[in-house]
Structure formats: C-alpha cells, structure tokens
C-alpha cells in the first residue's frame, strides 16, 4: 500500500517577502533531504501584516511575481511537493488569499480562500477578496489531497465535500490568531474534520507574536500523529493508505451519511465580526 511522508513546518513570517523566502529555502532543502513527499507551510507567509492589514493590498504579488517565482525555483529538481500560502494580486483592489502547490519547479495547482476570517473582531474581507471556486484535489504518491485554508476548517461542509470528491488527506495552512480559547478551537476543529471524514489532516500554523503555531497531523480516526508547540520548527508523520482503508471500514461515515453537500457558494452576508 502507498505511504506519504508529510511535514508541517511553522515559522513567524515578517513583512519582508525576501526575508521569508530566505526562511523557506532551508525548510524545503531539509524536507527534500529527509525524503518528505509533502511539505505544508503556513497561510500567507509571503508577508505578514499584523497591525497594518491594509498593506496587504499594496504588497500582494501576482503568481508570476518574485516571491512565488522564488519558491517555485526552490522546488526545481526536487521530489517534494510544497504547499505555501500567499496574497495574490487580483483584478480588483483586494487580493486573494491563495494556496499555491509547487512541484519540481512548476505550479501544479492553486486554491483561493473561500471563507474569509470575519470573526473575533477581525475583518479579513476589508482587504482580501473571497473566492467562490471549490478547492481542487492534488494527487501525491497515490493520495488524493484536498486544500483548505485556516478559517475554512470551521465549515465542515467544505471538508466533507472534498472528501466526497475523493480526498484521502486534507491540508490546512493557517495563521490562527491568538486569543481566549483559540488553541482549544484549533485542536478541536482540526481533529474533528479528520474524524468527521475519516481522512488524514495536515495543519500548518504560523507561529510568532500574533499566531499560535501548534501545527498538527491527525489520522483518520482523530488520533494526533505529531504536534508542534508555539516555537518555529517542523513535525513529520508517514501516512498510510492501508490505515485509511482500515479506518473507513471500521467507521463507515462516508457510506452512512444521509445528506449531500452542494458545491454552490451562496451570497455573502454582511459581517459584524463579533
């Protein structure tokens, strides 16, 4: 049966994309040297905007800009597949919050965030444009991989839709903001989405002054395989399709469910961010 060596690496991004590119380079090199098949980096690490959210608009780059081009070049000639979060310039004044999937010097897939973080007194939608396209699946080593970003994890229908579309593994780059109960929410939701869908889940959380870190790899029965704390670093686990099939035999929720999930985005309601 196929296996997939996965790694989630967390660090604190700065406002300088060149500094962040320099941080990412040894992470990719080490992952390749360690035989990692899938490396998941946090959300939005092209540049971090803690107290200057409006700067997202001016500092966003296109996918052929220097940051994504630089990370893409770092994967050239390598077997590792890399998922990294960026702010991608759009045809409006608000960029997309975008995941880019890279392999061997090329972009192989893109996902633009559906659910923007308009909660807990934050308004991501002030400066980011919501997308309305369902995330694609990416094949890696015989695993079908579904893409989600941060706040998406609070919406179980997205994880279920990806799983019904064939996902064996869900990846979740994030920049989970610190606050009361937030670590509890993070660990509960990440574990629940894996268990809800009998799917593996690899969650990479940015660390630093504003975000909790706590990257997590969970198996299809909700068992944590690897966990990080609040400091920069990496966690690694090898996933098995045999374990996935066993979990789905023992807990056949994907056969027992009674309600379908429609892939039709609804109009956004105004948010109070409370």
Q: Where are the domains positioned within the chain?
A: 3-256
| Its pTM surpasses 0.85 | yes
pLDDT tens for residues 147-190? 999 999 999 999 999 999 999 999 999 999 999 999 999 999 99
What's the token pair of residue 162?
Answer: 């990806």
End-to-end CA distance of the chain: 47
Q: Which of 43, 88, 109, 124 is catalytic?
A: 43
What does each C-alpha distance from 208 to 88, 107, 121 come to in angstroms? 23, 28, 20
To the query of whether residue 207 is one of the catalytic residues in this protein, the response is no
Residue 173: enclosing H or E segment and its boundaries?
strand 169-174
Q: Which of 78, 88, 113, 207 is catalytic?
A: 113
Domain 3-256: which CATH class?
alpha beta
CA–CA dist 16, 221 (Å, integer): 40
CA–CA dist 216, 205 (Å, integer): 8
To the query of whether residue 139 is one of the catalytic residues in this protein, the response is no
Q: Are 202 and 210 in contact (CB under 8 A)?
A: no
What's the token pair of residue 179?
Answer: 């606050």
CA–CA dist 28, 234 (Å, integer): 11
pLDDT tens for residues 173-232? 999 999 999 999 999 999 999 999 999 999 999 999 999 999 999 999 999 999 999 999
Q: Which of 109, 150, 206, 207 is catalytic?
A: 150
| C-alpha gyration radius of the chain | 17
What's the token pair of residue 125?
Answer: 């939608």
């Amino acid at each position: 049966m196929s296996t997939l060596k996965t790694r989630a690496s967390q660090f604190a991004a700065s406002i300088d994309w060149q500094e962040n590119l320099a941080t990412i380079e040894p992470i990719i090199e080490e992952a390749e040297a360690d035989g990692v098949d899938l490396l998941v980096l946090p959300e939005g690490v092209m540049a971090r905007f803690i107290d200057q959210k409006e700067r997202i608009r001016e500092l966003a780059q296109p996918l052929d800009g220097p940051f994504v081009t630089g990370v893409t070049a770092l994967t050239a000639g390598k077997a590792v597949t890399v998922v990294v979060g960026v702010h991608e310039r759009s045809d409006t004044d608000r960029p997309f919050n975008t995941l880019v999937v890279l392999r061997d010097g090329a972009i192989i897939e893109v996902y633009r965030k559906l659910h923007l973080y308009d909660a807990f007194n934050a308004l991501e939608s002030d400066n980011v444009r919501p997308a309305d396209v369902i995330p694609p699946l990416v094949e890696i080593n015989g695993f079908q991989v579904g893409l989600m970003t941060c706040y998406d994890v609070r919406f179980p229908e997205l994880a279920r839709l990806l799983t019904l579309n064939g996902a064996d593994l869900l990846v979740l780059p994030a920049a989970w903001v610190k606050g009361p109960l937030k670590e509890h929410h993070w660990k509960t939701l990440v574990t629940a989405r894996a268990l809800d869908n009998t799917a593996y889940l690899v969650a990479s959380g940015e660390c630093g002054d504003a975000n909790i870190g706590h990257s997590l790899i969970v198996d299809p029965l909700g068992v944590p395989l690897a966990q990080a704390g609040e400091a920069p670093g990496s966690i690694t686990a090898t996933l098995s399709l045999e374990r996935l099939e066993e979990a789905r035999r023992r807990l056949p929720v994907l056969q027992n469910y009674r309600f379908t999930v429609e892939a039709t985005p609804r109009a956004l309601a105004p948010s109070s961010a409370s």
